[in-house]
Amino acid sequence: MRRNTLYSSTRGVPSPVGARGGERSAQAEAAPDVRPGEPIPSGEGGIDPAKRQRSKRPNSGRPIWLALGMAGIIGGVVAYLASGAAPQGLTQRQFDAAVLDTLSRNPLPPVAARAFQTVAPAVVRVRGYGGSADDKDEGARSIGTGVVVIAEGVILTNLHVVASAERIRVTFADGHESPAEVVGVRPEHDLAVLRAASVPEGQIAATLRPTTGVFPGDTVIAIGFPFGIGPSVSAGVVSGFGREFRSRSGERVITNLIQFDAAANPGSSGGPLVTADGEVIGIVTAVLNPTDQGFFVGIGFAVPIESAASAAGTPPF
């Protein structure tokens, strides 16, 4: 059964613009009857209100790695007892020793690996093409990343990834490819909302989490297709909130951004910025480089999910 957009059980009211939150107004330009400043309508080219309502259901379960880890620990303790290494009258000290023995032989995967395993099924590669029929990477005008926020095929990415494209194709985690169209934009946050023409059976959406309760120094990972290679994972920490970024051309200023130091490069744009629990708190949008080059020097920026989700017509908080 398909999972729609999920939101973390963490709740909070986003702070005002310039602090930790973001503006709520959405702009849409995709459908002919949609004008900037109006919300994305339901029906064709928009988000079905029924699907939007389903997308707000609470998280139905914690990440599978946690369940597997606990099952492994319990199984290890049972095996330890069955082996006769401990008496039937188990003390707390003996129980702790059994748990430590099990963990030493079956360690849990690293934080970044667990986070990636949780969100990876919702990450897609986004390619923009000109008018030719060449759908290979070599013929793409742009390559970026996106994340599924509604299981029926609604995807968040960066506007600059698809702005000049005449045709868009997305590739899902299982290799399924589909044409996609832009159904909404928010230029002030460099965001675009895509709808895929088809999705894989059982496609899931990423779990979204507000930035409330996330602090500088917290672990985050960035997932994307830097230089078309991926999906690639990089880990770092939140460096700060409320940052401002001006494009190299100087034509656009984006405010209220999350600053992070997980590696990002061209092609990472539009990918999710994820907590250690695998919950999306932002959409990677830019890297700062004092030279004219586009490679990463340690400062990346992401649009907070409060702004990104509302751009898709699904404000979760």
Q: What is the pLDDT of residues 278-296, one digit of tens each?
A: 999 999 998 887 776 667 7
- Is there a single domain that holds both residue 38 and residue 75? no
- Is there a single domain that holds both residue 151 and residue 230? no
- Asked if residue 149 lies in contact with residue 309, where contact means CB atoms within 8 angstroms, the answer is yes
Q: What is the pLDDT of residue 94?
A: 74
CB atoms within 10 A of CB 45: 18
For this structure, is 160 an active site residue?
yes
Residue of 232, 269, 307, 310 with catalytic role: 269
Residue 7 within a domain: no
Closest CA to 7 of 55, 64, 67, 65: 55
Res 69 pLDDT > 60? yes
Task: Kindly report the average pLDDT of the chain as a whole number.
Answer: 77
* Tokens coding 126: 């986004």
Q: What is the pLDDT of residue 35?
A: 42
- Is there a single domain that holds both residue 185 and residue 42? yes
- Is there a single domain that holds both residue 44 and residue 180? yes
Residue 223 within a domain: yes
For this structure, is 101 an active site residue?
no
Q: What is the pLDDT of residue 28?
A: 37
Residue 6 within a domain: no
- Is there a single domain that holds both residue 142 and residue 40? yes
- Is there a single domain that holds both residue 220 and residue 142? no
pLDDT 10s digits, 152-166: 999 999 999 999 899
Q: What is the pLDDT of residue 65?
A: 59
Measured CA to CA, the distance from residue 204 to residue 69 in angstroms comes to: 22
More confident residue, 62 or 254: 254
pLDDT 10s digits, 103-137: 677 666 688 999 999 999 999 999 999 876 666 66
* CATH number of the domain that residue 158 is part of: 2.40.10.10
Q: How many domains does the chain have?
A: 3
Q: Which domain covers residue 71, as residue numbers?
A: 64-107
Range in 46-55, 94-103, 122-131, 229-238 the model is least confident about:
46-55
Q: What is the pLDDT of residue 82?
A: 58
Q: With bands split at pLDDT 50, 70 and 90, how would you rate the model's confidence at 147?
A: very high
Measured CA to CA, the distance from residue 39 to residue 26 in angstroms comes to: 5
For this structure, is 269 an active site residue?
yes
Residue 19 within a domain: no
Residue 5 within a domain: no
Q: What is the pLDDT of residue 32?
A: 42
- Is there a single domain that holds both residue 171 and residue 266? no
Residue of 55, 142, 178, 190 with catalytic role: 190
- Is there a single domain that holds both residue 44 and residue 164? yes
- Which residue, of 196, 229, 261, is where some domain finishes? 196
Res 259 pLDDT > 80? yes
Residue 8 within a domain: no
Residue of 8, 55, 160, 178 with catalytic role: 160
% of residues, the chain, pLDDT over 90? 47
- Is there a single domain that holds both residue 96 and residue 241? no
- Is there a single domain that holds both residue 122 and residue 178? yes
